[in-house]
Amino acid sequence: MIRYDFSPALSFLEAHDLDALRPRVEAAHRMLLERTGPGSEMLGWRDLLREPDDALLEDIDATASEIREQADVFLCLGIGGSYLGAQAVIEALAPLFRPPVDTETGRPLAPEVLFAGHHLSGGYLKALLAYLEDKSVYVNVISKSGTTLETMLTFRILRPWLEARFPDVARRIIVTTDPARGRLREMASICGYRRYAIPPDVGGRFSVLTPVGLLPIAVAGVDIRTLFYGAVEMCERLKNHQDNPALDYAALRYLFHERGYALELLAVFEPRLRGIGAWWQQLFGESEGKAGKGLYPDTVQYTTDLHSLGQYVQEGRRHLIETFLMVAREPEPLTIPDTGDDLDGLAYLSGRSLQTVNHNAYEGTRRAHTDGGIPVSTIWMDRLAPGPLGACLYFFMHAVAVSGYLLGVNPFDQPGVEAYKREMYRLLRKI
């Protein structure tokens, strides 16, 4: 379900570079599989795929069905890995605009899934509260630590608002947090909120296939079982050293990192994949950005960004590599009509699909950027559907673990994130 084509990038390397790196790539891969690398206590994101908990998937689906029945809005409070995975999969697979409506009742078939607690904007939250007025609201408070300021402050503001409007408020608040510790866990126990557990050995940026991502994704109407088992299948496939696209991707990134490249652009041609890019940025940035190492991860959405950043990518500083994330088979094509005239000079495209034009835009961009001195490679997902997307999520998680080990860092911790928090709390205690 995932194919990685790195042939264009090879022209920027010596013939033996990849083969010379192979033993180190396999050693890094063995570290992951045999749990001998740094951070091996945090490999729950693989274990939950190797021993699927079908009862949990069914429970999440049952809760999601209740929420889909009862709620107009499902509000997810979380930041970083506690919302990026859910947002990414929902953006990729759920209806793009308003959810479909029940033809008899006129009610939307699914609630709007909205996000908050991912910043400290008072204006945003005031506008959101006004929007939620007179709506049936369920809230999922998601925090592994149970102490993250943005999430918990937002919940502090929302709690009285919910209590004033919903007599069954305890039923409408679902907490996803550590099963044994943290303030949020205690609050849920004291206030009688329903709880889902984030496995202690799964880090936030690796938690999309736990209840952190799966409950919001299920509420949005996405088939979480097929998503989950797409990842299970990919986890099984990537156990082999041979014919392993995740190892090839990790190796290519490492080779260019060692040759002084500083950034990686993940380029998508489908706006629905922009959220996957944001999730990928945290996954790679937070896993590799340590000890002065790591390619800075950035996401671009083409062809849109070719009209704003295309100049830089084509002729700016040659310090970036470009990885395209493409969908091989598009859903129902949109055909360009024959308008009976050629006023726009585009009559020659009549009868072709817009998807065909977009794919040719990709091919043209790939060639131009290669000619412009950018090492380009492409990750192909065969369809934009739950199974292939689950495979894609696991592909990136597997690749970043191996890539982090190649860099000689622990891919599963994030000590640097505490620095700004220390400064911020020092100031907050003085206000």
Ligand X SMILES: O=P(O)(O)OC[C@H]1O[C@H](O)[C@H](O)[C@@H](O)[C@@H]1O
Q: Which of 150, 270, 286, 288 is catalytic?
A: 286
Contact set for ligand X, span 396-415 (CB under 6 A) = 414
* Residue placing its CB nearer to ligand X in the complex, 81 or 375: 81
**Least distance in angstroms from the C-beta of 67 to ligand X:** 21
Which one among 81, 245, 386, 390 touches ligand X, defined by CB under 6 A? 81
* Residue placing its CB nearer to ligand X in the complex, 12 or 412: 412
Q: 264 phi and psi, to 5 degrees?
A: -125, 125
* Residue placing its CB nearer to ligand X in the complex, 90 or 142: 142
CA 247/CA 320 separation, integer angstroms: 20
**Least distance in angstroms from the C-beta of 418 to ligand X:** 8
Task: By CB under 6 A, tell whether 353 contacts ligand X.
Answer: no
Cα 39 to its chain centre, rounded Å, is: 21
Contact set for ligand X, span 286-315 (CB under 6 A) = 286
Angle made by CA atoms 390, 391, 394, in degrees to the nearest 5: 90
Of 138-146, 213-221, 265-273, 310-318, the segment contacting ligand X by CB under 6 A is 138-146
Which one among 63, 87, 140, 148 touches ligand X, defined by CB under 6 A? 148
Angle made by CA atoms 268, 399, 402, in degrees to the nearest 5: 150
Instruction: Compute CA distances 309 → 161, 169, 315, 366, whole Å.
Output: 43, 47, 10, 15
| DSSP secondary structure letters along 169-192 | HHHHEEEEE-SS-SHHHHHHHHHT
Task: By CB under 6 A, tell whether 277 contacts ligand X.
Answer: no
**Least distance in angstroms from the C-beta of 57 to ligand X:** 21
Q: Which of 163, 315, 421, 423 is catalytic?
A: 421
Place of tokens 């999922």: 140
> How many of the chain's residues bind ligand X (CB under 6 A)?
14
**Least distance in angstroms from the C-beta of 196 to ligand X:** 13
**Least distance in angstroms from the C-beta of 207 to ligand X:** 8
* Residue placing its CB nearer to ligand X in the complex, 99 or 200: 200
Q: Any catalytic annotation for residue 286?
A: yes
* Residue placing its CB nearer to ligand X in the complex, 143 or 244: 143
Q: Any catalytic annotation for residue 135?
A: no
* Residue placing its CB nearer to ligand X in the complex, 286 or 322: 286
CA 277/CA 287 separation, integer angstroms: 15
| DSSP secondary structure letters along 28-48 | HHHHHHHT-STTGGG-HHHHH
**Least distance in angstroms from the C-beta of 250 to ligand X:** 20
Q: Are the C-beta atoms of 60 and 68 separated by less than 8 Å? A: no
190 to 209: interface string for ligand X, x by CB under 6 A: --------------xx----
* Residue placing its CB nearer to ligand X in the complex, 355 or 414: 414
Residues near 223 by Cβ (< 8 Å), separated by ≥ 6?
386
143 token code pair? 């925090």
78 token code pair? 């979380």
CA 410/CA 81 separation, integer angstroms: 17
Instruction: Compute CA distances 431 → 119, 153, 156, whole Å.
Output: 19, 16, 18
Binding site for ligand X (CB under 6 A): 79-82, 143-145, 148, 151, 204-205, 286, 414, 417
Any idea which residues carry the catalytic annotation?
286, 421
